[in-house]
Structure 1
Amino acid sequence: MTRDLAQVEVIAPHFKRRLSGVTSTVIQLVPVQNSLGQKVVTFGPGLPSHLPSMSAADLWRLWRPPVGRRCRVWHARRNIEMLPGILLRDVLRMPLKLVFTSASQRRHTGWTKWLISKMDRVIAVCQKTASYLERESTVILHGIDLERFSPAGDKAAAKQALGLDPARRHVGCFGRVRHQKGTDLFVDAMIRLLPDHPDWVAVVAGRATAKHVAFEDELKAKVKTAGLGDRILFVGEHTNINDWYRALDLFVAPQRWEGFGLTPLEAMASAVPVIAADVGAFAELILDGETGRMVERGSLDSFVDGITPYLADQTLCREHGAHALAHMRAHFSIEREAKAIGEVYADLLDAG
């Protein structure tokens, strides 16, 4: 969907075709930002056609600012999007202000530091990310669509609709199936715990890309050897993942590394408590002992210890799930995130 550039105040470039967390962020945020009057278009491949966009043929029009403004905002989320913004602003002298959102939690290379130093404003997705930036930043935590991710009105019916046994409780681990995501830690924890908790079933939802199929096959073989093939289910990738969250009683986020990580938010918005490794922004999302538990990254024993009380106590799952839902509604709507980003835009646009 093309939008009149004379009215556009913000450009959200997207220069990778591969689906990623950045892609998901842009797809979810841009419609909300526009509903709030922020006048945003996307630029680049790999995005749905329903998003407002501009084409390469429109680039020359960026020499003229939008109606009523002296500049536009170029909001980059990757190195390959920062550099073109710098060239457009500093070489071609287009009236642009540059914003970069960082999700990285590692020391930046000299090249990335240089790119970041040229930005007019920097947003960090969490405090841990901000700690790696060698300049001032604004911390804006991600939010999610609280209508799409919401509790089941009838959990038994939600389970049955997915072919799950409504008489049993379900613990899930969702996301790409690979070592980095800790899928093996979840499976190993379930192999250890499920024999003592016969009313529970584990669900692994997500796709293993070609590079990681052997890893997934090894996990399935391990499950079969343990005699738990009917209780540790690999259900693959689903576009209706929100329905799968609604069927859960407990969620586990066992990642070994994560930039931010939306799955705990999606689970908590579905009134499901979360056991999470101390990676990414998880410690800033989860209230330890109230909406779930934080455990040691990469430690099977720590995961087992964190999960066990929930398998043993259905009341604990319900209470912490209710706390999780209230926490999400108070602090993590995507509208809150969009409004906070809009304030950064407004500062730059008003200053010109």
Structure 2
Amino acid sequence: MARVEVVAPNLKRRLSGVTSTIIQLVPLQAQTVGIATLGPGLPDSLPKMRWWQVFSLLKRPASGRKRIWHARRNTEMTAGLILKSIFRAPLKLVFTSAAQRDHRPFTKWLIRRMDAVIATSARSGGFLEASHTVVMHGIDLDQFHPPKDRGDEFAASGLPGKCAVGCFGRVRHQKGTDLFVDAMIALLPHYLDWTAVISGRVTTEQKDFGEELENRVAKAGLADRVVFLGEVADIKSWYRLVSLYVAPSRNEGFGLTPLEAMASQTAVVASDAGAYAEMIVPGVTGAVVAAGDGNALTEAIRPYLADPTLAEAHGANALAHVTERFPLQREADGVRAVYEQVWAQG
């Protein structure tokens, strides 16, 4: 703990976008700063501090600088504030916000007590009533990469047709899975070379929603061409197998899936939820439509199904765009710059 200058708490057991960010970012941060995670649901490969080591936060690390407590949720801001204000721990509090909505009064109160605030997009920053720095999420270009061999070709999937369009993530109304299904029901009868692939966890609360979508597909006679994979242990290869990725969310925090797809050399059609519109270059790497507009989503997908070479061209552009603008190292450097500003304040 004497060498730990940054603590990245993860005070939520269930996997979430925040958890994924910590899992990807911390190993890169650990190359240049002493950092440790705290909390459940994280892989053993990450540097961790144990709960009994929380008492170590009452002393400064060997560097003499105050430790940074980097929160990403209200619970973590609250915990950091308690440690700092009640237990007098020598901490600096940093908060990253991805939310794209007006914050509740309690959240605003917490944010005002942070030493620095990071917004993951310009849009999320627009909802902050506090000075902030925009540091967009990046993507691990080693984990998400273009096709490398025949195992990454569509033929390896064993699915019908010649190419596929994918929609990955939790199956639920918020994610717009129903909008994607409706688009496929409208389009696939006209484009026989294409198969649709849906992957994602269906929670108990969303079971009826998921079953209704499958029934809708079966009624349209497309059960063999709209494939529900369920939750896939490793989704990365599927990004390489599909020629087009669709992110139809009605609302989103940040939303990493378009970056994951583009890093895999896959064109993307997305809603303007989350930070999607700040990732995609319309007409170059994909298309962006208004969130919740099913007709617009269908018409944005249509040109790619009509001309697979368009998907191929935009996929190549997408890879170049992500490689330049969204490497994970760029995010790590941006976060480190905020840390340095905080430490410079004393």
Query: How far did residue 153 of structure 1 move?
Result: 2.5
Relative distance call for 1:157 and 1:181 in structure 2 (3 A) is: closer
Deviates more, 1:52-61 or 1:271-280: 52-61
Q: Deviations over 1:305-328 (max 9, x none)?
A: 101111111221111111100000
Q: Residues 155 and 247 of structure 1 are in contact (CA less than 8 Å); yes or no, is this contact kept in structure 2? A: no
Q: Look up the match of 1:20.
A: 16
Which letter maps to 1:105?
Q
> Of 298, 307, 321, which residue of structure 1 is paired with 2:301?
307
3-state SS in 2 of match to 1:6: coil
Equivalent residue for 1:285?
Answer: 279
Aligned to 1:336, which of 321, 325, 330? 330
Q: Give runs of aligned pairs for residues 341-352 of structure 1, distance below 5 A.
A: 341-352=335-346
What do residues 203-259 of structure 1 show as CA deviations (whole Å, max 9, x unaligned)?
Answer: 001111111111111111111111111100001111221100000110111100100
- Of the three residues 125, 129, 132, the one matched with 2:127 is 132
1:237 is aligned to 231
Find the counterpart in structure 1 of residue 60 from structure 2.
Answer: 65
SS in 1 for 2:2: helix
User: In the alignment, which of 18, 23, 30 is matched to residue 26 of structure 2?
Assistant: 30
Pair 187,94 (structure 1): closer, same or farther in 2 beyond 3 Å: same
Runs (4+) of structure 1 exceeding 6 A deviation are none
Does residue 214 (structure 1) correspond to residue 208 (structure 2)? The answer is: yes
Unaligned ranges ≥5, structure 1: none
Query: Does 2:16 correspond to 1:48?
Result: no
Stretch moving more, 184-193 or 307-316: 307-316
Residue identity in the other structure for 2:169: G
CA RMSD of aligned residues (A): 1.3
Output the amino acid matched with 1:11: V
- Distance change in 2, residues 1:117/1:234 (3 Å): same
Q: 1: CA distance between counterparts of 2:195 and 2:163?
A: 6
Cα offset, 1:69, TM superposition:
2.6
Q: Distance in 1 between matches of 2:41 and 2:143?
A: 22
User: What's the counterpart of residue 171 of structure 2?
Assistant: 177
Paired with 2:27 and 2:148, the residues of 1 have a C-alpha distance of: 27
1:159: how far off? 2.6
Q: Write the mapping of 1:256-267 to structure 2, written as runs, cut at 5 A.
A: 256-267=250-261
Residues 64-83 of structure 1: pairs in structure 2 closer than 5 A? 64-83=59-78
Give the C-alpha shift of residue 157 in structure 1. Answer: 4.8
Aligned to 1:325, the other structure's residue is in SS state helix
The separation in 1 between residues aligned to 2:149 and 2:292, in whole angstroms, is: 35
Alignment equivalent of 2:241, drawn from 232, 239, 247: 247
**Superposed displacement of residue 60, structure 1:** 2.0
Deviations 1:170-203 (A, max 9, x none): 0000000011100010000000000110011000
Tell me whether 1:321 sits opposite 2:312 in the alignment: no
Instruction: Give the counterpart of 2:109 among 104, 114, 127.
Output: 114
Whole-angstrom CA distance in 2 between matches of 1:59 and 1:220: 48
Structure 1 residues 156, 227: CA separation in 2 closer, same or farther (over 3 Å shift)? farther
Q: How many residues get paired? A: 346
What residue ranges of structure 2 are gaps of 5+ in the alignment? none
Give 1:282 shift. Answer: 0.5
Counterpart-to-counterpart distance in 1, 2:282 and 2:298:
16
> 2: distance between equivalents of 1:319 and 1:113?
44
Distance in 1, matches of 2:165 and 2:149, equals 17
Residue 38 of structure 1: SS of its match in structure 2?
coil
Distance 1:160 1:95, change over 3 A: same
Shift in Å at residue 48 of structure 1? 1.6
Q: Does 1:105 align with 2:100?
A: yes
Moved more, 294-303 or 184-193: 294-303
TM-superposed deviation, 1:119: 0.1
TM-score with structure 1 setting the length? 0.96
Letter in 1 for 2:28: V
The amino acid of 1:93's aligned partner reads R
How far does residue 349 in structure 1 lie from its aligned partner after superposition?
2.4
**Distance in 2 (alpha carbons) for counterparts of 1:182 and 1:158:** 27
**Overall identity of the aligned pairs, in %:** 53
